[in-house]
Amino acid sequence: MFREIERVGFAGLGAMGAGIAQRLLAGGYEVVGWNRTREKAEPLLDAGMGWADTPRELAASVDVLFTMLTNTAAIEAIAEGPDGILAGLREGSIWADISTIAPDASVALAERVRATGASFLDCPVSGSPATLAAGQMSVMVGGDRAAFDHVKELLQAIGPKVTYIGPNGQAILTKVAINLALVVSVTALAEGVALVEKAGVDRGAVVDAVLKSVIASPVVAYRAPLLVDDTDVFADVELQQKDLVLAQELARRLGMALPTCAATSEMLNAARSSNRSDRDFVVSVHEAYRRIGGME
């Protein structure tokens, strides 16, 4: 039913995508890549990754294809057309999309993939490049259970925590819920730090206390230090707000209220107005709170 996994494809070699492709190479898999900008792939090519000139060529040359792009429009752009993924998929192959895109768009794409004789899995991941490097990435999977079973070992090469959720679209829905909670909680962290800073408490001392407190968590562990030493960008404001927008769109369709999501999205709007909105979103949001509080 499914093709034997001999070659793995990867489209979208940004910071996270490149890290995942590197883990697959390190796991002994033969990997072929494609990216809009070949220069970003040079370190992977030097490490032994193959190259495809188009998404169609990539899909036609592999047994399992991973994609990790920014949003729904980006995925649809490489899926469509004579050089797109859909034109290259082979019967029995599996397309595993790691991106976080609109759930309804993902379900619609899965139907189109099935028409080619291939299978589609939505496989969003939870974590950051730091989580990935530490071997602690988690993967959620939606789609055909038999397809999941076929690629489970491959997914475990990305991260050891792999969870099958249910039919197509349900893994992305779960990822939206997780990211909603993540963005709200990290924004609340930035709010609390800014509040006591204005009262005269040293920011570094607050962050140190947070990391030793009951609210310490994996995401707080790698994001709170950015409030003291702004050296990394795990996800900027626009990327994180995309997930809140997906949650709000879903809530409108379902007739649900998301008051903390709405309030948090407004703070991200404030952060986007800064000329530093390209920093990690916890940094940008913290600076927005400081501006509102008259500290900048």
d(CA 34, CA 61): 12
pLDDT in tens, 101-130: 999 999 999 999 999 999 999 999 998 887
pLDDT over 90, % of the chain: 88
Backbone angles phi, psi at 121, to 5 degrees: -120, 135
The residue to which tokens 């809530």 are assigned? 251
pLDDT in tens, 188-241: 999 999 999 999 999 999 999 999 999 999 899 999 999 999 988 888 999 999
d(CA 204, CA 215): 16
pLDDT value for 188 = 98
Q: Is the pLDDT of residue 131 over 90?
A: no
pLDDT value for 128 = 82
186 and 241 in contact (C-beta within 8 Å)?
A: no
Q: What is the mean pLDDT of the chain?
A: 95
Structure-token pair, residue 133? 């490097």
pLDDT value for 13 = 95
55 and 88 in contact (C-beta within 8 Å)?
A: yes
pLDDT in tens, 28-67: 999 999 999 999 999 999 999 999 999 999 999 999 999 9
d(CA 23, CA 105): 28
- Per DSSP (E only), the strands in 35-143 are 50-51, 64-67, 94-97, 119-122, 125-126, 138-142
Architecture of the domain whose range is 173-292:
Orthogonal Bundle (1.10)
* R_g of the chain computed on alpha carbons: 20
pLDDT value for 134 = 81
Neighbours of 181 (CB within 10 A): 14
Architecture of the domain whose range is 7-166:
3-Layer(aba) Sandwich (3.40)
62 and 39 in contact (C-beta within 8 Å)?
A: no
pLDDT higher for 291 or 276?
Answer: 291
Distances (CA, A) of 283 to 126, 188, 190, 222, 290: 20, 12, 8, 12, 11
Could you tell me the pLDDT band of residue 277, with boundaries at 50, 70 and 90? confident
Neighbours of 182 (CB within 10 A): 18
For the entire predicted model, the pTM comes to 0.90
Q: Is the pLDDT of residue 2 over 90?
A: yes
Domain parsing of the chain, residue ranges: 7-166, 173-292
pLDDT value for 99 = 93
Torsion of CA 295, 277, 247, 140, to 10 degrees: -120
d(CA 162, CA 169): 16
Q: Is the pLDDT of residue 17 over 80?
A: yes
Could you tell me the pLDDT band of residue 180, with boundaries at 50, 70 and 90? very high
pLDDT value for 136 = 85
DSSP 234-275: SSBHHHHHHHHHHHHHHHHHHT---HHHHHHHHHHHHHHTST
Neighbours of 188 (CB within 10 A): 16
Least Cα distance to 35 among 86, 83, 89, 78 occurs for: 78
pLDDT in tens, 70-113: 899 999 999 999 999 999 999 999 999 999 999 999 999 999 99
Sign of the Cα pseudo-torsion (235, 239, 245, 247, in order): negative
